[in-house]
């Protein structure tokens, strides 16, 4: 779990590690279905990324950046899969509601 202080400041050598930890926590939140928590973690992560890429900080290596981008891509794929599943469930629910409404109309018509 990230160890950022309340004001989102982290000692410089640990900033990138905190970004990675937040990204991993986002993945765990997504898999647990905790979308609100994932969004909050993303806000924290964005603030740390701004610091990590500021002119005053040493830049992470290309390998480290690529690893983070790979995690981000995995989060996006997982989120899209979750989104697709939710949309499918909503379509099924909508179809079920239409069927129930049609049956209700049939019953009321006395046919």
Residue 92 lies in a domain: no
Percent of the chain with pLDDT strictly greater than 90: 27
Query: 20-24, 30-34, 80-84 — which one is most confidently predicted on average?
Result: 20-24
Top-confidence residue, 33 or 5: 33
Task: Determine the Cα–Cα distance for residues 21 and 26; give it in Å rounded to an integer.
Answer: 9
Residue 96 lies in a domain: no
Residue 109 lies in a domain: no
The answer to whether residues 23 and 71 touch, using CB atoms and an 8 Å cutoff, is: yes
Residue 6 lies in a domain: no
Percent of the chain with pLDDT strictly greater than 70: 87
Indicate the length of the chain as a whole number.
Answer: 111
Residue 5 lies in a domain: no
At residue 111, the pLDDT reads 59
Structure tokens at 67: 């690893």
Mean pLDDT of the chain: 82
Residue 105 lies in a domain: no
Other C-beta atoms lying within 10 Å of the C-beta of residue 29 = 19
Residue 1 lies in a domain: no
Count of domains for the chain: 1
Whether the per-residue pLDDT at 44 is higher than 60: the answer is yes
| Cα angle: 7, vertex 28, 86; to 5 degrees | 115
At residue 13, the pLDDT reads 56
Task: Determine the Cα–Cα distance for residues 32 and 68; give it in Å rounded to an integer.
Answer: 20
Query: 15-19, 20-24, 55-59, 76-80 — which one is most confidently predicted on average?
Result: 20-24
Give me the domain span that covers residue 59: 12-86
Residue 59 lies in a domain: yes
Task: Determine the Cα–Cα distance for residues 44 and 61; give it in Å rounded to an integer.
Answer: 21
At residue 102, the pLDDT reads 84
């Amino acid at each position: 779990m990230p160890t950022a202080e309340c004001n989102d400041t982290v000692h410089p050598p640990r900033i990138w590690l905190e970004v990675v930890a937040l990204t991993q926590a986002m993945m765990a939140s997504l898999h647990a279905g905790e979308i609100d928590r994932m969004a909050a973690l993303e806000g924290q992560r964005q603030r740390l990324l701004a610091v990590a890429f500021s002119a005053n900080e040493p830049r992470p290596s290309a390998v480290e950046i690529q690893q983070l981008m790979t995690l981000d891509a995995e989060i996006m794929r997982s989120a899209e899969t979750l989104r697709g599943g939710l949309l499918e469930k909503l379509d099924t629910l909508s179809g079920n509601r239409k069927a129930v409404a049609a049956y209700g109309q049939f019953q009321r018509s006395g046919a």
